[in-house]
Structure 1
Amino acid sequence: MQDASRRQFITSTALLGAASVLPTTVSAQTACPSLPRLIHQVYFWLHNPDSVEDRNKLIEGLNSLRQIDSVRGLQIGLPASTEKREVVDNSYQVAETMLFDDAAGQDAYQIHPLHKAFVEQYSYLWRKVVVYDSMAV
């Protein structure tokens, strides 16, 4: 029984050692080529930052954007209670990340009637919005 455990340990150690010399800079697109490439991140600062009701209303509105055809993924988040560091900005109240196949999909989203209705119906809730758009490499 000890020999089997020893062989298993040696095999596991050898596999871990081999894995440690493999390249680790694999892009998200290489690892998952089917992932949408355009990442649209939006951060919202509310007029009433302590209002759970306003926050939940905004989240309700953001969820309605899932119905837009060109939106391939949508995640809504709140600031995480991670370590406070100089480079971390968690002063926003709600964050949204959307995935699109490409810039054309994001352009279609911007002019879609549901997006326009969202802005019209919910913009009174926020005092500031910051958007970061990026392409996966």
Structure 2
Amino acid sequence: MSTRREFIGNTGKAMIAGGLVTLAENGDPVMIENKFIHHVYFWLKNAGSKEDRAKLIEGLQKLSKVKTIKTFHIGQPADTNRDVIDRSYAISWFTMFDNAADQASYQVDPIHLKFVEDYSHLWSKVTVYDSVDAK
């Protein structure tokens, strides 16, 4: 039986080996490098509709099955209020790819095309922010 500290350490190593999380030995944050970040913000046509929100989340969960996606996050606006924060969107979709080619293949992947076909009627606006390493 391992101690709690050993268990946490081994779990962290397993996550790193699996490519899920990168941690520094001293606990400092580590910059994500050599990845293509694709962050999408959705505004719903029926902004107050819990059903439409749930349907979009369902669609994004299906979309996460695209093979080139390394990690993803489905989010909503945080309860933070400062002048620089835009909380007007309903749902955000964060994905990480190994490179631009993988992201390009995601754009034409049948799962992505089906997502757009089945769920685009829910949103009134979509804004995308793609980014790569600053050099």
TM-score, with structure 2 as normaliser = 0.75
Higher helix share: 1
Q: 2: distance between equivalents of 1:129 and 1:66?
A: 18
Letter in 2 for 1:28: M
Structure 1 gaps of 5+ residues are 1-23
Aligned-residue Cα RMSD (Å) equals 1.7
Moved over 3 A (4+): none
Match of 2:94 among 97, 109, 124: 97
Match of 2:49 in 1: 51
Q: 1: distance between equivalents of 2:104 and 2:62?
A: 18
Q: 2: distance between equivalents of 1:136 and 1:63?
A: 27
Match of 2:39 in 1: 41
Q: 2: distance between equivalents of 1:85 and 1:92?
A: 15
Q: 1: distance between equivalents of 2:77 and 2:133?
A: 23
TM-score, with structure 1 as normaliser = 0.74
Which stretch shows the higher mean deviation, 64-73 or 91-100?
Answer: 64-73
Partner of 1:133, secondary structure, is strand
Aligned residues: 107
Match of 1:28 among 2, 27, 31: 31
Match of 1:69 among 67, 76, 86: 67
Greater CA radius of gyration, 1 or 2?
1
8 Å contact from structure 1 (residues 109, 115) kept in 2: yes
Q: 1: distance between equivalents of 2:30 and 2:131?
A: 14
8 Å contact from structure 1 (residues 39, 136) kept in 2: no
